[in-house]
Structure 1
């Protein structure tokens, strides 16, 4: 296939000053943190340049992001949202902390599904809540029986909330309609408040529809955090939205102004809204290239690292690699020191991540190929 997005040369990427390209020395190929090796989508870049040219760098005003989210959700997922039930947030993790503070009390238990996005753990404990872990199943799916046990108090203290990653990071799996319907039913039956991190929602594989949690019966009191930052590579322009189910409007209203609307920047709101409205063709091409990279990674592993397996994924631009057959004490450290390839260590995502690493697929096929070849040569 012809790549149009992941075409930035390595020499140009090394001139970047963001975290991905500054954490490690220049001889390291960084395939770790969730930044993409691409240029900004043209409509977004044009909007930002125009705003700078006219000196439009003040405070955000009006429901710009909220209304763009409703248009995107309707067109992309068939989900009708009311912009009055959407609130601006500083970013997704800030929104998650806000949500937990309004739907739980200090000392309450919150269910999470390790291996899971690393900041989930401090988001719970840092707000004075306690973790209750229900690990994902080996195939990357939700352990619905385990969730039922946890929600009903048969796996320890009875929780008050469930923090879900959908699509799931790091296993790169988009939860299916039956899974989410079961979660919503169990949560409603047991008075569990569900908070969803949906930042990867636009990034399902081209043939995989994203299933919104808020479309499920029983999800009326859920809070969903969403941002365009991941799909359009706008992490440096922080903004997000909290979407409240019809029965969660009071929870959204309880978030303090300074922790929400007052924290996102005007340029971030502008760029995210333009991405959602005008960046859809770019997103479609991105999803195609990411699917091609995931297939390429499977071929590269089979050819060069057959002991390493990629958990089949259908969303995000992350790959969850099982390296246990290599017999390494610390696969991430080995590949960094010996192969000069930077990955995320599996244990950072929770105990089930032992022997695993997370790899960022959002790069050129040349860089991905070189990284796997260097990893293989290090053994």
Structure 2
């Protein structure tokens, strides 16, 4: 059950607190990859001022010189408390967690625990490009089970992929993106239970990337994979990174279902040295004390989804856009514009607006772009204006 409250009346929208001029002073990837005349609406960084509890936790740590290695279970305890209050899930056992450097590196470590050299990993394209890059770099094979036309898991395609993945008696894993990036689909409890049943039938291990879990739209229920019947042997990766804009403060948690506890126990101890201690402090503060800030953000993001839908309907009606159920990403089908497989190139070169190309997201990505909604309404309006100008 999603227990997200509405934003506290009068709480400032974090997306409206920083001017474009101020944002251009940032030195991170979003703001330094392209020339200054390009409007960046691509990589998953939010244009927000940070939640005050996060700023306080980091500031106090720096003042104390508390910048060593991470220790203790405070992060896991904060996530367990957040999960119970937010999603009604009381099954996150702190004893079955492990701190990892970030979600993607945590995924790599989980896949190492449950698969071997040249085993297969099933994914649902179009999906987050590092899924392909990291999996292939660790000498596993990608097997695609494309999403359906409705952007939801196609159980028939998934079963076919599972059969292919375990052919010859090999081990296999399913890398589940939940909520899904880039489409923003939130998998239902019934869908996840069906996934768990299929995985059990074919002896496929499920590793769930749930980094976007706190970022659901109002009225949409996020269901943790490990909370559904049959998911006991699953592994999950969670973090406060996306929801509170903490990508530069590295820390994430791996969570094991009861049937995967022995697997997680085999995680090399040195993996816990990779996360940032300051990052863990920041994530803990966000989960414990940053929910009012999050609620204001979620309201602002929902406003931005409606704004983008209205702007596209008025100015670029050939683009198909389904407002997402979660994340702050918009997946835009631009095929009717006749711009070829990579419209992001056209928007960048002619309109000076940077969007993510759909091609790296795999099957179903050609002709699409991903737009980052986590910015001010004024920047979204300017981004659409530039997209229109690119077509003239």
The TM-score bracket by the shorter chain reads over 0.9
Inter-partner Cα distance in structure 1 for 2:69 and 2:141: 36
1:370 is aligned to: 382
> In the TM superposition, what are the counterparts of 1:237-248 in structure 2 within 5 Å?
237-248=249-260
Inter-partner Cα distance in structure 2 for 1:362 and 1:199: 16
Greater Cα shift, 94-103 or 69-78: 69-78
Inter-partner Cα distance in structure 2 for 1:247 and 1:156: 23
**Structure 2 residue 63 is matched with structure 1 residue 53:** yes
Inter-partner Cα distance in structure 1 for 2:72 and 2:136: 34
Normalized against structure 1, the TM-score is what? 0.97
Normalized against structure 2, the TM-score is what? 0.94
Inter-partner Cα distance in structure 2 for 1:328 and 1:216: 42
> In the TM superposition, what are the counterparts of 1:126-165 in structure 2 within 5 Å?
126-153=137-164, 160-165=172-177
Inter-partner Cα distance in structure 1 for 2:171 and 2:126: 19
Q: The residue matched to 1:238 in structure 2 has which SS?
A: coil
Greater Cα shift, 76-85 or 228-237: 76-85
**Structure 2 residue 336 is matched with structure 1 residue 325:** yes
1:6 is aligned to: 15
> Which of 1, 7, 28 does residue 18 from structure 1 map onto?
28
2:263 is aligned to: 251
Inter-partner Cα distance in structure 2 for 1:107 and 1:56: 42
2:115 is aligned to: 104
8 Å contact from structure 2 (residues 234, 260) kept in 1: yes
> Which of 181, 192, 196 does residue 193 from structure 2 map onto?
181
Question: How many residues in Structure 1 have an aligned counterpart in Structure 2?
Answer: 378
In angstroms, what is the RMSD of aligned CA positions? 1.5
> How much has 1:150 moved relative to structure 2?
2.1
8 Å contact from structure 2 (residues 166, 204) kept in 1: no
Q: Relative to 1, partners in 2 of residues 1:207 and 1:164: Cα closer, same or farther, differing over 3 Å? A: same
> In the TM superposition, what are the counterparts of 1:115-134 in structure 2 within 5 Å?
115-134=126-145
> Which of 19, 30, 42 does residue 52 from structure 2 map onto?
42
> How much has 1:156 moved relative to structure 2?
7.0
2:366 is aligned to: 354
8 Å contact from structure 1 (residues 181, 216) kept in 2: yes
2:104 is aligned to: 93
> How much has 1:321 moved relative to structure 2?
0.2
> How much has 1:159 moved relative to structure 2?
6.0
**Structure 2 residue 80 is matched with structure 1 residue 67:** no
Q: The residue matched to 2:185 in structure 1 has which SS?
A: coil
**Structure 2 residue 215 is matched with structure 1 residue 206:** no
Inter-partner Cα distance in structure 2 for 1:85 and 1:47: 26
2:205 is aligned to: 193
Q: The residue matched to 1:99 in structure 2 has which SS?
A: helix
8 Å contact from structure 2 (residues 166, 202) kept in 1: no
8 Å contact from structure 1 (residues 132, 159) kept in 2: no
> How much has 1:148 moved relative to structure 2?
1.6
Greater Cα shift, 46-55 or 88-97: 46-55
Inter-partner Cα distance in structure 2 for 1:374 and 1:241: 39
Inter-partner Cα distance in structure 2 for 1:186 and 1:289: 38
Inter-partner Cα distance in structure 2 for 1:27 and 1:326: 24
